[in-house]
Amino acid sequence: MNWTEPVDIYCERLGPEFWAEPINAITNLSFIIAGIWAFMFAKARGSADPAVVFLASLAGLVGIGSFLFHTFAVQWAGLADVGSIALFMIIGMLIGLRRLFALNWLSAAMGAIIFAAVIFLGPERFNIQIPVLGEGNRYLPAIIALGIIAGALAMKGRPACRPIAASAFLLSASLVFRSIDTNVCEAFPLGTHFLWHLLNGCVLALIMYSIIRYRHVQ
């Protein structure tokens, strides 16, 4: 693979320039803001332990990775983008299972490993695929996992079910905007990918809020 090969897959990008996607680039601040907010929220509650700080840092890393992709727009930046998102999802799953369900670290790690396997092997291998979503199918396991977690929390009568369910809904909506971006270029040249960023900043904030606010164990 040529790591410096240009990538042009969004409506807003009309050329190879660094600042050819200003809105897509700037809206990555939503991830960084989510990370800073989570850290400040945890610190105010006396819950800014290493796991939470690490997760909040990963949220900021998502913003940086996506910013690189929407500015440099080459293969290595694309890897930084999807890699940081995958890392947040897997570590978020690990910490979430531990904190929200009081699982031991081994059980939580097994859950996170299974989740990671579905992501990296490809959802299509597990018949998890909606053709119209294209590459967006890679995020379906996250939506399904959030839905299952929200349902399990609801069955236990845990209030964390509400923000987790809300995060699943927002992630679903953001995936729609991500998927239709190239289909609306003619009618809306700016595209809709920036909404994927803004909504997912809220998704990350809700997940971290749930872990910080409703944790059962350290």
Token pair 């396997």: residue:
117
**CB-based contact 123:134 (threshold 8 Å):** no
CA distance 51 to 139: 23
Would you write out the chain's pLDDT as a tens digit for each of its 218 residues? 789 999 999 999 989 999 999 999 999 999 999 999 999 999 999 999 999 999 999 999 999 999 999 999 999 999 999 999 999 999 999 999 999 999 999 999 999 999 999 999 888 777 778 887 888 889 999 999 999 999 999 999 999 999 999 999 999 999 999 999 999 999 999 999 999 999 999 999 999 999 999 987 76
- What amino acid is encoded at 55 in this protein? L
Of the candidates 27, 36, 38, 34, the residue with the CA atom closest to the CA atom of residue 66: 27
Residues contacting 205, CB < 8 A, separation 6+? 34, 37, 38, 59
Neighbours of 12 (CB within 10 A): 19
pLDDT at residue 186, rounded to an integer = 93
DSSP element (H, E) containing 160: none
Token pair 């994927």: residue:
196
pLDDT at residue 134, rounded to an integer = 82
**CB-based contact 208:88 (threshold 8 Å):** no
**CB-based contact 29:63 (threshold 8 Å):** yes
pTM over 0.85? The answer is: yes
